[in-house]
Amino acid sequence: MQTSPSSRGPDYDRRGANGHWYAYVGCPEATKLCAGHPGVTDSPMPQEQPHRLGTMTQTSAADPAADRARLLELIKELAVVRGKVTLSSGAEADYYIDLRRVTLHHEASRLVGRVMLAMLDEAGIEFQSAGGLTMGADPVGTALMHAAADAGRAVDAFVVRKAQKSYGMGRQVEGPDVKDRSVVVLEDTSTTGGSALTAVEGVCNAGGQIKAVAVIVDRDTGAKERIEAEAGVPYLFAFGKDELGLD
């Protein structure tokens, strides 16, 4: 569904008209994979930051619609590769979306952070940490963390290993502790949802509370349906493949 202007105020109205696409299944917590973990209570924000988690500051100079339009241009220019390829899932496709050419790009990376943050705000997702399975999600989490900091907000990033370490501290989720924190799992793009679900499981095992899974580009290949069914959380995406001219 395409987003529509919100009735919550002019700041939301501006973002609500920026053309984000997302799917929301109405389940604010990962009731299946995260069963048994306590709910998260957000800690009070400092006096000089009275806004709640998950909202943009009124002083932010970013233009969400312009950010989104420019990011779409850069994805089309830098990331879309046409030709027969085998995806990480083993499936074959006639094109490849190499989003690391975007998330690690000097201009596009900043836009990724702002666009993803605005999308999550628009969906009403409140969170304290964001990250996903290494390595596709790593620059997305970092970009979002910096975008939040630019808006005067404290959002930490984290990295989920494919498997728990057998040495050192034996962690699977690296970075500031996610235990008892509200978390968004990120991906650059997803085909089957497998990477995001591995990250969801790792975060839940570490005591985090999953509030949503968010990706930059949805390939419309079943990831949304699988993640919604197995994780029981909202699945959001900034762009559909049709917007990239890949239908």
In Å, how far are 26, 54, 57, 68 from 152, measured between CA atoms?
28, 12, 7, 21
Decide: 152 and 142 in contact? Cβ < 8 Å: no
Domain map of the chain by residue range?
A: 10-40+63-244
Task: Indicate the pTM of the whole model.
Answer: 0.75
pLDDT at 164: 81
Using CA atoms, how far apart are residues 82 and 79, in angstroms rounded to an integer?
10
Could you tell me which of 174, 245, 187 has the C-alpha nearest to residue 218? 187
**pLDDT beyond 60 at 31:** no
Dmax (CA) of the chain: 55
Q: Give strand pairing partners of 82.
A: 95
- Alpha-carbon dihedral angle through residues 174, 179, 185, 186, given to the nearest 10 degrees: -40
Assign 34 a pLDDT band (cuts: 50, 70, 90): low
Query: How confident is the model at residue 59, as a pLDDT?
Result: 35
* pLDDT one-digit tens code per residue, 135-180: 999 999 999 999 999 999 999 999 999 988 767 777 999 999 999 9
The CATH number of the structural domain formed by 10-40+63-244 is 3.40.50.2020
How does pLDDT run across 193-212, given as a tens digit for each residue?
Answer: 999 999 999 999 999 999 99
